[in-house]
Structures are given as C-alpha cells and as structure tokens.
C-alpha cells in the first residue's frame, strides 16, 4: 500500500514554496485543523467512532483527510491524526475525552514510570501499519495535491503524559525538567524517537512535507526551551531530514521562540497570529520560508474584515523567500465551513 517516495507531488507550488522556491502561481493555502469538527461530513463519518479509533482506521482517517481538500479546494491535505496517536500505538492507555482532551490512564511522573515505558523498535513499526495504509490511500486519492504529515512535538506530548491530561500551565512537566533533567531527558527522548518513527512512516508512505506542531511550547522561556526541549524536537525533525521534504514547525504563542524552534531543524516556520509575518521573517534572518497567519477571529466577521486581514497577511508575507498561507491557529470547531471555502477562493484569486 506504500506509495514510493517518487510518487510524492514534490513539484506542487505549495511544496516548492515551503522549500523557499519562487513560484509563479496564485497564493498557496491550507488550514491547520481543516479536517475535523467544523465539517458536517466529518461529524457524519465520525458518528459512533471515537476520535482515536478513527485515527487508526485507515479508510476513515483517509476520508477525513480528504474531506476539506474536496470541499474547500485547499492546496494540501493535512494528515488527520492526533498528537497522542503515537503514544497509543506504542501501547499507552490514552483516550480523547470529548470536551476535555487527551487523558492518559496512568500519568508518567516518576523515574519508575519512565523506565516502564514500552520499548520502541520493530513492534512500533508494525503498529504504524494503519498510519502507512491511511497515508497511502490518501496520497493515491489526492493525486497532484500534496499531503502534509502531522506530528505533535515532544514537549506537548510529554506534558500530556506527565500531567495525565490537559493542564493550563504544565507545572508538573516544567517542574520535572528542573528537578530531574535526566529523567525528563529520558521521557522526552522516548517521545521523540516514537514521534520520529511516526513522522517518517508518513513520509515514506507518500507525504510531501511534514508539520511538527507544539501546542504548549509557548509556556517556556527561550532558556528553558533551549536547555530542555530543543534537542528533542530536533530529534523528531532529523528523523525525516534525509527524505527531502520541507519540515514545518509551529508553536502556539511562541513568537519568543521562533529562532530557537527554527534551529531545531525546521526548514519552514509556522507563525501564529500574534506576530506579524514581516516581523517573524526579520527575526528569522530573512531567508526562512514562513507559513501563516490569518487571525482565526476573522472567520467570525463579515467579508470586509476577513479579506482585509487576508490581504494584510499576503502583504506581510511578501518579504519572505516564500510564504504559504494558513491561519494563525487551527480552525475553530464552530467555524462555518462556507467561510473557509470562500476564503480559499479569495486567496486563489489574488496574485502571489
């Protein structure tokens, strides 16, 4: 079922832009969390199936990935998954509790907990079979439209494991790094190796680019990030660095970490709506392609405010080597899908 890497549409304008190549084509756009709750066809196919089950059913995960590409005409699919899918595949007991988020049955807080994490290796590769199959199905269906592989970053994933579920300030996780850096390193290394395998499987099965998504990294200072987190994110990205795919890295509320996150081995930086793209481009030294950063708030305004924001983002992105349009955060579940479809059409009607 695996697509050979050669089958990847690596010449699509979106992929070329992620690589920083200049392209004479209308703006390229996809939306973080475009696959999911905002779409009625998603809610329909998910009915009766839990979130994590649906991530592990290849035909279903593929269908969900394809839905927003069909509906909105976005320039890439993003592989439908969840940041805790790798942990589930490795054998940890975790579920996504509706209205709450990922919850681990046994939080990982002590050295003994960390020592008891399942070993990674051949069994992991076998467990990744449904991922490879889902990606293969999706890529075959997408044709010339590229698929972006998806993975949660080690700090965010580990913080769910340590806290046991969503938390506002990730205090236990951040205390662990300071109190027992060696134990933290072992935990984060485990997550990073697992995540690297998860991401590599997606690329080998046909993904044309990857995005490493760090929801909570913005809660760290640059010093703490550099000392305790950066090398683990770098390990994930390096797992696909020989495969010639652009590596997008995105953190929420992490404008103070742009340089450090890029230095973890990203080729392309996702920027959230808090920082203007031109400022991000400048901070990154002017030679890094960027992705972003339409404020999701304009999905809830009229056309005028929305188009004004889209135009401003295109203008601010023009100083980058290249720019792929996205939101500054994931699609909110309550978004009217017609607004997204219209926004894609608006963007495609602009000159690059």
Closest CA to 131 of 196, 56, 52: 56
Are 233 and 174 within 8 A, CB to CB?
no
Query: Is 10 annotated in some ligand binding site?
Result: no
Q: Which of 160, 197, 200, 295 is catalytic?
A: 160
Tell me the Ramachandran region of residue 221: left when phi exceeds 0, alpha when psi lies from -120 to 50, beta otherwise.
Answer: beta
With beta carbons less than 8 A apart as the criterion, state whether 345 and 308 touch.
Answer: no
Give Rg (Cα) of the chain. Answer: 19
CB of 4 vs its own copies, minimal distance in Å: 41
* CA 64 vs CA 21, 58, 168, 253: distances in Å: 30, 10, 29, 28
Helix (H, G, I), strand (E, B) or coil at 329: coil
Q: Is 249 annotated as a binding residue?
A: no
Q: Is 160 a catalytic residue?
A: yes
Question: Is 33 a known ligand-binding residue?
Answer: yes
Asked if residue 342 belongs to a known ligand binding site, the reply is: no
* DSSP 8-state code for residue 29: B
**Residues listed for the chain:** 352
16 is in an annotated binding site: no
Q: Does the active-site annotation cover 75?
A: no
State the catalytic residue, choosing from 19, 71, 82, 200.
Answer: 82
Which of 18, 83 has the CB closer to its own copies?
83
Our CB check for its own copies shows the closer of 84 and 299 to be: 299
Cα→Cα distances 220→38, 80, 151, 155, Å: 30, 27, 20, 10
Q: Catalytic one among 16, 17, 19, 33?
A: 33
Query: Between residues 301 and 319, which has the closer beta carbon with respect to its own copies?
Result: 301
The nearer residue to its own copies, 146 or 152, going by C-beta atoms, is: 152
Q: Is 16 a catalytic residue?
A: no
Tell me whether residue 194 or residue 280 sits nearer to its own copies (CB atom).
280
**Of the listed 2, 46, 172, 180, which one is catalytic?**
46
CB 246 within 8 A of CB 19: yes
Q: Which residue has the tokens 């990922």?
A: 102
Of the residues 37, 172, 231, 274, only one is catalytic, namely: 37
Output the DSSP codes for 217-269: GGGS-HHHIIIIIHHHHHHHHHTTTTTT--EEEEETT-GGGHHHHHTTT-SEE
Question: Is 274 one of the annotated active-site residues of the chain?
Answer: no
Please give the residue ranges that form the binding site for its own copies (CB under 8 A).
Answer: 169, 171-172, 174-175, 177-179, 218-224, 253, 255-256, 273-276, 295-302, 305, 309, 329, 332
Residue 82 appears among annotated catalytic residues: yes
- Between CA 163 and CA 137 the distance in angstroms is 35
Report in angstroms how near the CB of residue 331 gets to its own copies at its nearest: 11
Confirm whether residue 140 is marked as ligand binding.
Answer: no
**273 is known to lie in a ligand binding site:** no
Is 35 annotated in a binding site? The answer is: yes
* CB-count exposure of residue 172 (10 Å: 0-12, 13-18, 19+): middle
Would you say 238 or 301 has its CB closer to its own copies?
Answer: 301
Point out the annotated binding site.
Answer: 33-37, 82, 160, 215, 329
Point out the annotated binding site for substrate.
Answer: 33-37, 82, 160, 215, 329
Active site residues: 33, 37, 46, 82, 160
């Amino acid at each position: 079922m695996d697509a050979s890497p050669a089958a990847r549409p690596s010449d699509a304008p979106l992929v070329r832009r992620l690589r920083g190549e200049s392209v004479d084509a209308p703006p390229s756009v996809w939306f973080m969390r475009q696959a999911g709750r905002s779409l009625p066809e998603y809610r329909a196919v998910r009915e009766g199936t839990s979130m994590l089950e649906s991530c592990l059913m290849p035909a279903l995960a593929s269908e969900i990935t394809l839905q927003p590409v069909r509906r909105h005409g976005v320039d890439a699919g993003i592989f439908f998954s969840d940041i805790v899918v790798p942990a589930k595949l490795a054998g940890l007991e975790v579920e996504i509790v509706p209205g709450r988020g990922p919850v681990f049955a046994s939080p990982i807080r002590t050295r003994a907990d960390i020592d008891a994490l399942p070993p990674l290796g051949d069994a992991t590769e076998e467990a990744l079979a449904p991922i490879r199959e889902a990606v293969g199905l999706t890529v075959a269906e997408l044709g010339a439209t590229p698929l972006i592989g998806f993975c949660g970053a080690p700090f965010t994933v580990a913080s769910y494991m340590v806290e046991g579920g969503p938390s506002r300030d990730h205090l236990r996780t951040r205390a662990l790094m300071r109190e027992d850096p060696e134990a933290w390193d072992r935990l984060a290394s485990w997550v990073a190796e697992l995540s690297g395998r998860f991401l590599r499987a997606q690329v080998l099965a046909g993904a044309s680019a990857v995005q490493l998504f760090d929801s909570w990294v913005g809660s760290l200072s640059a010093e703490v990030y550099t000392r305790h987190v950066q090398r683990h994110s770098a390990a994930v990205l390096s797992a696909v660095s020989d495969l010639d795919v652009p590596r997008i890295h995105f953190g929420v509320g992490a404008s103070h970490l742009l340089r450090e996150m890029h230095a973890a081995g990203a080729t392309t930086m996702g920027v959230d709506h808090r920082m203007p793209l031109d400022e991000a481009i400048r901070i990154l030294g002017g030679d890094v392609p960027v992705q972003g950063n339409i404020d999701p708030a304009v999905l809830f305004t009229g056309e005028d405010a929305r188009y004004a924001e889209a135009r401003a983002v295109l203008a601010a992105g023009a100083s980058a080597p290249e720019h792929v349009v996205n939101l500054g955060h994931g699609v909110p579940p309550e978004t009217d899908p017609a607004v997204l479809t219209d926004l894609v059409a608006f963007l495609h009607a602009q000159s690059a």
